[in-house]
Structure 1
Amino acid sequence: MTHQPPFVSRLTPSDIDENLTDLCRVLVDSVADGAAISFMMPLDQETAARFWADDVKPAVEKGERHLFGAFAKGRLIGTVQLLLSMPPNQPHRAEISKMIVHPMARRQGLGKALMSEALAAAQDEGKTLVTLDTRTGDVSESLYKSVGFEPAGIIPDFAFDPDGQSRHATTYMYRYL
């Protein structure tokens, strides 16, 4: 039996349906682990499934965003989204959203692999600027810097942590392609 290394793939709408259980597991477990990705604890499977099916899938179908999945041992273990639909005065820009790697699969280079695919796709789409925001001081901030993002500024008290107990600052970052 051969060992298949982890890989990243752009997901189609049917891939979202086929991997919905894993997509929900990655999202729910990451929020439970404290990931600041817009959801609050406790995040249930039904809410997670609605996010993937009702928010992400239609945008992927319309070509407004790309969804990338990281796979290992036949299971989806991480995702990142590239938002392409921007206001009319920003056709040159894309945005990174929901960079998520399952807590048990972190520190293996999957985040960097996901980001590399998203940035390559942005360039293929003719984008010249990519932006994102991240919880200030979060481990993801160093990941983003490692793939060329620069801090643009910090907004204090931007959002609540997933436990709802305290607010955190957000760092906006950008990268030219």
Structure 2
Amino acid sequence: MPCSPTSGPVRRSLRVVRHDPATRKDSPYRRSASPTDTWVVATIRALLDNGAADLVVLEDACEEALRSARAPGWTCMIVTNGRAAQREAKIRNTGLDRLVHGWVVSETVGREKPAPEIFRAAADIARLPLRDAWVIGDSPQADIAGAVALGLRSMWISHNRTWSQAAYQPTDVAGEVASAIRRILRRDALERL
């Protein structure tokens, strides 16, 4: 059954794939929608909209690091790929909405990272020039490649992985978000001396 939203009320029939063990092949057939099908479609839609938003928890160290970044005047923005409803639910449920100045979701902007437009949209919302930004992210392709393409400084969150991209490099590497923020704040303090 497709996971994309249906148009209007639940469609009268759903495409269902049945596995035939005798032929070891999947064979599509159509049947009328039942109340169970309606529940399944509603459940899938809710999962797509909310994902695991109620299961995501913001680590105390990350919250503390964001507060310490805001104190000296840093503007913290979230740039994320995905469905707006799902990402915004995660941002609100974790309390990030109270710790950052704003966010940009690819579905809303119509462009995904690493496209420059999504990073520019974040700068526009922050009303700050993009040239001074740091991009912190765990995706070499989406986050770091996007930063490099715009000439921005970047901090790759390695999660104990090894960097494998030969074409570009992050400015710096940290194991997790809180230490990345602290490293950037230390670098900034040293640059101001």
Q: Which TM-score applies when normalising by structure 2?
A: 0.30
Q: Which has the higher contact order (CA 8 A, sep 6+)?
A: 1
The answer to which structure has the higher helix fraction is 2
The answer to which structure has the higher strand fraction is 1
Q: Which TM-score applies when normalising by structure 1?
A: 0.32
Mark the structure with the bigger radius of gyration: 2
